[in-house]
A and B are shown apart, each in its own frame.
Chain A
Amino acid sequence: MSIDRLRRRLVNGFACTAASAALLPCCLGRAVLAAGGSSRFSVRQIADGVFAFQGADELMTAANDGAICNLGAVVGTDAVAVIDSGGSLIEAHAFLAAIGKVTAKPVRFLINTHMHPDHIFGNAAFREIGATIVGHRNLPRALDARGAFYLHNYREQLGEALMEGVEIVSPTMLVDDHLQLDLGGRMIELRAWKAAHTDNDLTVFDTATGTLFAGDLVFMGSLPTLDGSLLGWLRQMDALAVIDAARVVPGHGPVTADWPQALAGERRYFEILARDIRKAIADGTPLREAVKTAGESERDKWHLFDDYNERNATAAFAELEWE
């Protein structure tokens, strides 16, 4: 994509930020504590100046600290950009501590790839250190509609201790279409997508190494969840696939995978799900019955199939009925 097409948009009088040295991650005592006892939060360098943490292929629980999605960090000569804040403050602090061990550069940007709790529950930790929180133009609207529900719902699932201090913190820098951020010596390109996994999906591309942080537009291993538009997701897979990336960091799965081969699994799953649901709709099968069998042939190919397939089928049915 050409640089001159990239544009930057400031919203709500946001003023460009610089994190102060006094707020370096290494000064966060709690983070060091949280990270100290466990190597689970260690980060891996996957390309020059690009780091990632691999989340568990599980549902968010107190036992895994809500750490189920992949997180990333890109280090420039001036600043660090973090991709997603994790599913708890404990995870966010631990991730910041782990980054603090590999670079002394300040974390200036937190980029949220979309609205889901496993990606945004750690946001308050980044506000604390003065990082600018960046998201899709639709992200504040989506969080307004869901934030209170997420906090309520996950308090039961994760327990009071892990939910302590978790807040819904909306981005203050919004991406309309494309946005380029300068980390010093390297540019990262942010791109806002039309409704797919959610209606607020954002990808991050590190031009220096050709690393694509796809957020949950790419799932590997764990069953993708549909909370936006099945048709939109399938349509945009072609546009995703032509991104000239050397590797992808999917939202869930291994922290680095070949591109665009990484798309193959979810594309197959969604095409099968759409086929099964379209047949049920044509046959006049009601939603409640159709969702019990749609996509069933994919059962053995994914983690968390029983947790999410029927939900995906439900959302797909409601969408495909309008074709």
Chain B
Amino acid sequence: MQNHAYSSRQLALPLASVFAAIILTIGTLLGSSGAANAQQTTASSDRIWHDLKGDVFGDRAILVDTGVVRIEAPKRAQDAAIVPVDIYLDPAKAPDGIKSVTLIIDANPAPVAATFQLGKDAGVTHLSTRVRVNDYSYLRAIAETQGGQLHMAQTFVKASGGCSAPAVKNQDEANATMGQMKLRQFPPKETMTKTEELQLMIRHPNNSGLQRDPLTQYFIPAHFVQKLSISQAGQPILSMEGGISISEDPNFRFDFTVHGNGEIQVEAIDTDGKTFRNQWPLETAGL
């Protein structure tokens, strides 16, 4: 167990450095070297993962396809900028509870798309979001149990064909509406349960930093939502540390167990240090 405590601390640092380092690696990954020009295969995606996993998880063992976590995405990305991905967690297969899940896209300039921390009694079993997929790549979900075990599931996504690019579609609109939020609450599908679904939407360009300022010609620094926390009456449901692989207008849909009538609170912080906050009353309160 000493090992686990040590590993958790170790995990925190490399994650921060991975998010920082992505900005530096974009140029080399999309650059003109011969290797970078060929599209990835399952084998080359695995090689990227092999080199990457030590940076994110150290030398910890990762169990594969145990059923603790599942991941689903379309076999082919239709719009490279908006690829829906679903992560399912099975608490029955991890009796000590799941504390976090990390989403990795091997071949992206920013492979660590996001790490989600799950509230202890939040009961999150399904989380869907939208990501950018730059190339043929495995998408991987790695769940960490309270006891420190790592479980992984993966699915291979072929990049979109045609002229769809993982970039912001309407940049002027994205800049003008930044920080707006919308929360949708989906009532329980079955009566007498306390599980409901939330969908949180945040207006943000989540930019890659690949654009140049038209006047200075300098690259504009990456600008994305890096921290997000969602809670009910102060009790954490879900929080995220994320990067530019999350699509513009970050969008999260997840189930959770309602505790009492407290309101839903959201705080998002972007790389410019801007903080966006909002709260909504629980629509099903009193049911």
Contacts and interface: CB of A to CB of B under 8 A. Distances in A.
A145 B79 CA distance: 15
Q: Is the interface of A mostly helix, strand, loop or mixed?
A: helix
Interface string B156-169: 00011111111111
A5 interface: no
Interface in B182-225: 182, 184, 186, 201, 203, 208, 210-212, 214
Contacts of A287: 82, 84, 130
A57 to B, nearest CB: 14
B211 A229 contact: no
Contacts of B31: 148
Contact of A144 (B36, B135, B180, B210): B210
A117 B253 CA distance: 34
B171 interface: yes
B135 A152 contact: yes
Interface in B212-240: 212, 214
Best-buried of A149, A155, A199, A313 by chain B (most CB within 10 Å): A149
A153 B39 CA distance: 8
B163 A118 contact: yes
A302 interface: no
Contact of B163 (A148, A227, A310, A322): A227
Contact of B182 (A11, A198, A227, A322): A322
B74 interface: yes
Contact of B78 (A152, A157, A284, A314): A314
Interface string B53-82: 000000000000000000010100011111
B170 A156 contact: no
Given A144-B210, A145-B167, A322-B201, A308 B162 contact: yes
B74 A307 contact: no
A34 interface: no
A311 interface: yes
B16 interface: no
A157 B161 contact: yes
Contacts of A118: 163
B162 A225 contact: yes
A288 B86 CA distance: 9
Interface in B15-64: 30-31, 36-39
26 contacts: A138-B171, A141-B171, A144-B211, A145-B165, A145-B167, A145-B171, A146-B165, A146-B167, A149-B134, A150-B163, A152-B36, A152-B135, A199-B173, A225-B163, A227-B169, A228-B170, A229-B173, A287-B84, A287-B130, A288-B74, A310-B78, A315-B79, A319-B169, A321-B201, A321-B251, A322-B177
Interface string A141-170: 110111011101101110000000000000
B130 to A, nearest CB: 7
8 closest Cβ contacts across the A-B interface? A311-B78, A148-B30, A288-B84, A145-B167, A146-B165, A195-B170, A314-B79, A116-B163
A232 interface: yes
Chain A interface: which size bin?
35 or more
Interface in B109-161: 128, 130, 134-135, 159-161
Contacts of A319: 169
A27 interface: no
A59 interface: yes
A313 B82 CA distance: 11
Nearest to B135: A152
Contacts of A102: none
A152 B30 contact: yes
Nearest to B203: A322
A311 B164 contact: yes
A141 B214 contact: yes
A153 B159 CA distance: 9
B178 to A, nearest CB: 13
A144 B219 CA distance: 9
A318 interface: yes
Nearest to B31: A148
A319 B84 CA distance: 14
Contacts of B203: 322
A59, A118, A146, A319 interface centre (most CB from chain B within 10 Å) = A146
A154 to B, nearest CB: 9
Contacts of B184: 284
B165 A156 contact: no
A72 B5 CA distance: 67
A215 interface: no
A117 B161 CA distance: 12
B280 to A, nearest CB: 16
Contacts of A185: none
A229 B169 CA distance: 7
A100 to B, nearest CB: 29
Nearest to A196: B170
A217 to B, nearest CB: 15
A11 B82 CA distance: 33
A311 B79 CA distance: 5
Contacts of B79: 311, 314-315
Given A11-B214, A117-B163, A229-B170, 18 more contacts: A138-B171, A142-B167, A144-B212, A145-B165, A145-B168, A145-B171, A145-B211, A153-B159, A195-B172, A199-B173, A225-B164, A229-B173, A284-B186, A311-B79, A313-B78, A314-B82, A318-B130, A319-B169
Nearest to B80: A149
A253 interface: no
A60 B270 CA distance: 38
B247 interface: yes
